Chains A and B, each alone.
Chain A
Amino acid sequence: MMKDISIGRYYQGNSILHRLDPRVKITLCFLYMIVIFLMTTPAGLLATFLVVAVLCVLSAIPLKTILASVRPIVFLLLFILVLNILTIRTGNPVVSWGILKITDEGILKAVLMALRLFLLIVCTSLLLTLTTTPLLMADSLESLFGPLKKIHVPVHEMSMMMSIALRFVPTLVEETDKIMKAQASRGAEYDTGNIFARAKGYVSVLVPLFVSAFKRAEELAVAMDARCYKGGEGRTKLHVLHMQGKDYFWLILLTCLAIALFFIDLLTQIR
Chain B
Amino acid sequence: MADQTAVQSDSRISADVRLDSVEFSYVHPEAGTVPALSGVSLSLSRGSYSALLGRNGSGKSTMAKLIDVLEMPQVGSVYVLGFDTQDDSHFWEIRRACGMVFQNPDNQIVGTTVEEDVAFGPENLGVPTPEIRQRVDDALHYVGMYEYAHKQPSQLSGGQKQKLAIAGILAMQPQILLLDESTSMLDPLSRDEFLAVVSRLVHEKNMTVLHITHDMSEACIADHIYVLDHGKVALSGTPGEVFSQVETVRRLGLDVPVFAEIAYEVASHLGIHLEQKTLYSRTAAVNGIRMMLSGVAQGSYRDVIPEVSVPRVPVKGRTVLSVSHLSHSYEKNSEPALSDISFSVMEGEIFAVIGHSGSGKTTLITHLNGIMRPEEGEVLVYPRGASEPLNTRKNADVRKIRRVVGLLFQYPEYQLFEETVERDVAFGPTKMGLPPEEISRRVREALSLVGLDDSFLQRSPFELSGGQKRRVAFAGVLAMDPDILVLDEPAAGLDPTGRREILHYAEKLKERGKTIIIVSHNMDEAARYADRILVLKDGKAGALMTPQELFRDTAKMKELGISAPETISCLTEMKKDYPDIRTEYFRTDEAAREMIRAAGKAVPAENRVDSMHSGGCL
Q: Interface residues, chain A, CB within 8 Å of chain B?
A: 8, 10, 12, 133-135, 163-164, 166-167, 170-171, 174-175, 178-179, 181-189, 203-204, 207-208, 211-212, 215-216, 219-220, 222-230, 234-240
Closest Cβ–Cβ distance, residue A227 to chain B (whole Å):
4
B111 at the interface (CB under 8 A from A): yes
- Chain B residues with Cβ under 8 A from A185's Cβ? 369, 371, 402, 406-409, 477
Contact of A133 among B112, B168, B399 (CB under 8 A): B112
Contact of B107 among A8, A219, A228 (CB under 8 A): A219
- Chain B residues with Cβ under 8 A from A186's Cβ? 402, 415, 427-428, 431, 476-477, 480
- Chain A residues with Cβ under 8 A from B98's Cβ? 226
Closest Cβ–Cβ distance, residue B483 to chain A (whole Å):
15
- Chain B residues with Cβ under 8 A from A236's Cβ? 122-123, 126-129, 132
Supposing A185-B402, A208-B414, A228-B121 touch, asked if A223 and B110 sit within 8 A by C-beta, the answer is: yes
How far, in whole Å, are A184 and B121 apart by their CA atoms in the complex?
41
- Chain A residues with Cβ under 8 A from B113's Cβ? 133, 135
- Chain B residues with Cβ under 8 A from A182's Cβ? 407, 409, 412, 414-415
CB nearest neighbor in B for A173: B154
- Chain A residues with Cβ under 8 A from B154's Cβ? 170-171, 174
CB nearest neighbor in B for A174: B154
How far, in whole Å, are A188 and B100 apart by their CA atoms in the complex?
39
How far, in whole Å, are A240 and B432 apart by their CA atoms in the complex?
59
Closest Cβ–Cβ distance, residue B62 to chain A (whole Å):
12
How far, in whole Å, are A189 and B402 apart by their CA atoms in the complex?
12
How far, in whole Å, are A224 and B169 apart by their CA atoms in the complex?
11
B116 at the interface (CB under 8 A from A): yes
B366 at the interface (CB under 8 A from A): yes
CB-contacts of B398-425 with A (<8 A): 399, 402-403, 406-409, 412, 414-417
- Chain B residues with Cβ under 8 A from A12's Cβ? 150-151
Q: Is the CB of A10 within 8 A of B127?
A: no
How far, in whole Å, are A256 and B121 apart by their CA atoms in the complex?
41
How far, in whole Å, are A212 and B469 apart by their CA atoms in the complex?
14
CB nearest neighbor in B for A12: B150
Interface centre among A134, A182, A234, A238 (most CB of B within 10 A): A238
CB nearest neighbor in B for A186: B428
How far, in whole Å, are A10 and B119 apart by their CA atoms in the complex?
19
How far, in whole Å, are A12 and B369 apart by their CA atoms in the complex?
37
CB nearest neighbor in B for A203: B417
Supposing A186-B431, A238-B123 touch, asked if A216 and B152 sit within 8 A by C-beta, the answer is: no
- Chain A residues with Cβ under 8 A from B63's Cβ? none
B215 at the interface (CB under 8 A from A): no
Q: Is the CB of A223 within 8 A of B128?
A: no
Q: Is the CB of B123 within 8 A of A237?
A: yes
Contact of A10 among B100, B152, B412, B432 (CB under 8 A): B152
- Chain B residues with Cβ under 8 A from A229's Cβ? 120, 124
Interface centre among A223, A225, A240 (most CB of B within 10 A): A223
- Majority secondary structure, A binding face: helix
B462 at the interface (CB under 8 A from A): yes
- Chain A residues with Cβ under 8 A from B96's Cβ? 228
B68 at the interface (CB under 8 A from A): yes
Supposing A179-B414, A187-B480 touch, asked if A240 and B129 sit within 8 A by C-beta, the answer is: yes
How far, in whole Å, are A42 and B369 apart by their CA atoms in the complex?
54
Q: Is the CB of B110 within 8 A of A164?
A: yes
* Cβ proximity bits B38-52 to A, threshold 8 Å, 1 near / 0 not: 000000000000000
Closest Cβ–Cβ distance, residue A22 to chain B (whole Å):
13
> 10 tightest CB-CB pairs across the interface, nearest first?
A187-B431, A238-B119, A207-B417, A223-B108, A219-B107, A170-B154, A185-B407, A186-B428, A135-B112, A182-B415
CB nearest neighbor in A for B395: A192
Enumerate 12 A-B pairs (CB-CB under 8 Å) in ascending A order: A167-B112, A179-B414, A184-B402, A185-B371, A208-B415, A220-B108, A223-B108, A227-B110, A236-B126, A236-B129, A238-B115, A238-B136
Contact of A227 among B124, B150, B416, B462 (CB under 8 A): B124
Supposing A167-B109, A211-B462 touch, asked if A235 and B123 sit within 8 A by C-beta, the answer is: yes
- Chain A residues with Cβ under 8 A from B480's Cβ? 186-187
CB nearest neighbor in A for B482: A185
Q: Is the CB of A208 within 8 A of B417?
A: yes
Q: Is the CB of B366 within 8 A of A181?
A: yes
Closest Cβ–Cβ distance, residue B548 to chain A (whole Å):
32
B153 at the interface (CB under 8 A from A): yes
Closest Cβ–Cβ distance, residue A85 to chain B (whole Å):
35
Q: Is the CB of B102 within 8 A of A223?
A: yes
Supposing A228-B92, A238-B123 touch, asked if A219 and B409 sit within 8 A by C-beta, the answer is: no
Known: A203-B417, A236-B128, A237-B129. 4 other contacts (CB 8 A): A10-B112, A166-B112, A170-B154, A224-B120
B245 at the interface (CB under 8 A from A): no
* Cβ proximity bits B144-185 to A, threshold 8 Å, 1 near / 0 not: 000000111110000000000000110010000000000000
Contact of A235 among B65, B126, B416 (CB under 8 A): B126
Q: Is the CB of A204 within 8 A of B417?
A: yes
How far, in whole Å, are A204 and B416 apart by their CA atoms in the complex?
8
CB nearest neighbor in A for B126: A234
B133 at the interface (CB under 8 A from A): yes
Contact of B432 among A135, A187, A208 (CB under 8 A): A187
Q: Is the CB of B415 within 8 A of A170?
A: no
